[in-house]
C-alpha cells in the first residue's frame, strides 16, 4: 500500500489532484500539508475519505511521521500579486520546501513537482518546447517565482543524476477554473470576479499580450495520467497546458459579454509582463497519447463564472463560503485537521 504526501493540497490545483489520488485503490494514506497561504480548507471539505489527513503547517518546517512513497510538491502561490507581495516566502516554500520534502521521500519513491511556464520568462521562441532555456531576469519582479521554480527543477534533476531519485516535473501553463480564489488576482479570475461585482475589468497595458489558458479538469487529467495512472517512465520536464493562444484583451471582451454594461479599463502595464506564452505540446502528445485540452476556453469561462457566482454568494441555490467549515467546531471531518506541527489524526 502507498503513502502519499501532497504539499499545497488545499490549493486550487492541489485539491483537484488530491481528489483524483483518492480514487486509487492502492492508496493507504494521503497526507496534505498546507499553510493556508493561498489554499482553503473548503477545497477538500466535501471529501469524507478516512485515508485523507490534513496538516496545517509550512512545508519547510513541518514534522512528518515516517516517509512517503510518492510526494507531490505544489506548495507555492502562483498568482503574480501574491508571490510578489511575499517573494522571500515564495522562494522558501518552493526551494526549502523541496529540500524538506526530499528528506521524507521513501527509498525508491517518486517526487513530483509542478513547475511553470514562467521558466521560459519572456520567450524568444513560440511555441515554447521544453528544450527552450528561457529568458528570465533573476533580479526582476517575477524572479521569486520563476527562479525558485527553476531552482527546484535543478535540485530534482541533480537529485536524479547523483542519487537516482525518481522525479517527475511538469511545467504548467496558465490554468483556470473552479477553486481559484476570488481574490486570486490572475486574469481570468480577476475579470470574472470584477464582472460579478459590477466593477470595471482591469487590463494591464494594451491587452495585446497573450497566454494559453487550460481548464483545470484537462490539466488535472494530464497530471493524473503522467504522475501515476499511465505508468509513465519519463522524468520531464513536460509542458502541460492548452496550446490555443489568446490575447488578454480577447479574454476581457469575452468575459465582458456576460456582464453587459461593465466597462474595460486599461491600467499601467505590469512590469516585465511576458508578451506571449504558448506550450509546444509535442512531448505531451508522445508521453500522454490522446490527451488534449478538451474543454474549450469559452466553456471553461462559463463553468468558472457559475462557480464564482456560488462562491461569492450570488446564487440562492449554492452556499456561500463565508466560514471555513472544516476548521469550525463540529465540522464533520474536522478530525483530519491539525494546526500544530504534528500530524493530524
Binds ligand UDP (CB under 6 A): choice among 2, 5, 203, 281: 203
Q: Kindly state the smallest distance separating residue 3's Cβ from ligand UDP, in Å.
A: 33
Enumerate residues 6+ apart whose C-beta is below 8 A from 291.
Answer: 221, 222, 225, 284, 285
**Taking the alpha carbons of 94, 99, 103, 105 in that order, is the dihedral positive or negative?**
positive
CB-facing half-sphere around the CA of 314: CA atoms within 13 A = 14
Say what the alpha-carbon torsion angle 75, 79, 85, 87 is, to the nearest 10 degrees.
50
Catalytic-residue membership of 254:
no
Quote the DSSP letter at residue 54.
Answer: E
Q: Does 247 bind ligand UDP (CB under 6 A)?
A: no
**H-helix segments, 87-183:** 87-91, 97-103, 143-163
Q: Does 80 bind ligand UDP (CB under 6 A)?
A: yes
- Which uninterrupted H or E stretch holds 216? helix 216-224
Whose cell is 521544453? That residue is: 130
Binds ligand UDP (CB under 6 A): choice among 270, 306, 334, 338: 270
Catalytic residue, candidates 120, 145, 226, 297 = 145
Are 291 and 219 a contacting pair, CB within 8 Å?
A: no
Closer to ligand UDP by CB, 209 or 283: give it: 209
Residues 137-176: x/- map of binding to ligand UDP (CB under 6 A)? -------------------------------------x--
How many binding residues for ligand UDP (CB under 6 A)? 14
Are 251 and 213 a contacting pair, CB within 8 Å?
A: yes
Binds ligand UDP (CB under 6 A): choice among 132, 204, 234, 258: 204
Q: Which stretch binds ligand UDP (CB under 6 A): 15-23, 31-39, 185-193, 299-307?
A: 185-193
Q: Which stretch binds ligand UDP (CB under 6 A): 30-38, 93-101, 196-204, 285-293?
A: 196-204
Query: What residues are labeled active site?
Result: 145
Where along the sequence are the contacts to ligand UDP (CB under 6 A)?
Answer: 79-80, 174, 186-187, 190, 202-204, 209, 211, 248, 270, 273
Amino acid at each position: 500500500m502507498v503513502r502519499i504526501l501532497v504539499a499545497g493540497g488545499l490549493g486550487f490545483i492541489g485539491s483537484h489532484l488530491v481528489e483524483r489520488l483518492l480514487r486509487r485503490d492502492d492508496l493507504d494514506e494521503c497526507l496534505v500539508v498546507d499553510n493556508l497561504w493561498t489554499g482553503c480548507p473548503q477545497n477538500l471539505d466535501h471529501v469524507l475519505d478516512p485515508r485523507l489527513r490534513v496538516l496545517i503547517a509550512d512545508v519547510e518546517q513541518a514534522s512528518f511521521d515516517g516517509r512517503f512513497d510518492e510526494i507531490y510538491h505544489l506548495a507555492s502561490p502562483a498568482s503574480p500579486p501574491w508571490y510578489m507581495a511575499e517573494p522571500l516566502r515564495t522562494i522558501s516554500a518552493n526551494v526549502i520546501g523541496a529540500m524538506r520534502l526530499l528528506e521524507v521521500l521513501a527509498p525508491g519513491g517518486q517526487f513530483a513537482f509542478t513547475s511553470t511556464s514562467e521558466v521560459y520568462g519572456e520567450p524568444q521562441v513560440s511555441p515554447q518546447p521544453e528544450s527552450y532555456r528561457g529568458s528570465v531576469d533573476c533580479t526582476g519582479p517575477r524572479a521569486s517565482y520563476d527562479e525558485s521554480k527553476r531552482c527546484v527543477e535543478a535540485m530534482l534533476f541533480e537529485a536524479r543524476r547523483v542519487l537516482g531519485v525518481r522525479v517527475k516535473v511538469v511545467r504548467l501553463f496558465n490554468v483556470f477554473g473552479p477553486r481559484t480564489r476570488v481574490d486570486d488576482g490572475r486574469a481570468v479570475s480577476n475579470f470574472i470576479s470584477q464582472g460579478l461585482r459590477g466593477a470595471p475589468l482591469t487590463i494591464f497595458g494594451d491587452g495585446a499580450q497573450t497566454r494559453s489558458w487550460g481548464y483545470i479538469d484537462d490539466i488535472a487529467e494530464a497530471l493524473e495520467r503522467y504522475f501515476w495512472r499511465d505508468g509513465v517512465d519519463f522524468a520531464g520536464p513536460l509542458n502541460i497546458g492548452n496550446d490555443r493562444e489568446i490575447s488578454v484583451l480577447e479574454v476581457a471582451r469575452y468575459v465582458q459579454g456576460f456582464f453587459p454594461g461593465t466597462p474595460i479599463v486599461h491600467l499601467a502595464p505590469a512590469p516585465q509582463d511576458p508578451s506571449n506564452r504558448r506550450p509546444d505540446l509535442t512531448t505531451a502528445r508522445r508521453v500522454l497519447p490522446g490527451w488534449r485540452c478538451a474543454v474549450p476556453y469559452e466553456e471553461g469561462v462559463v463553468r468558472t463564472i457559475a462557480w464564482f457566482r456560488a462562491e461569492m454568494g450570488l446564487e440562492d441555490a449554492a452556499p456561500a463560503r463565508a466560514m471555513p467549515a472544516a476548521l469550525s467546531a463540529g465540522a464533520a471531518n474536522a478530525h483530519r485537521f491539525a494546526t500544530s506541527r504534528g500530524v493530524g489524526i
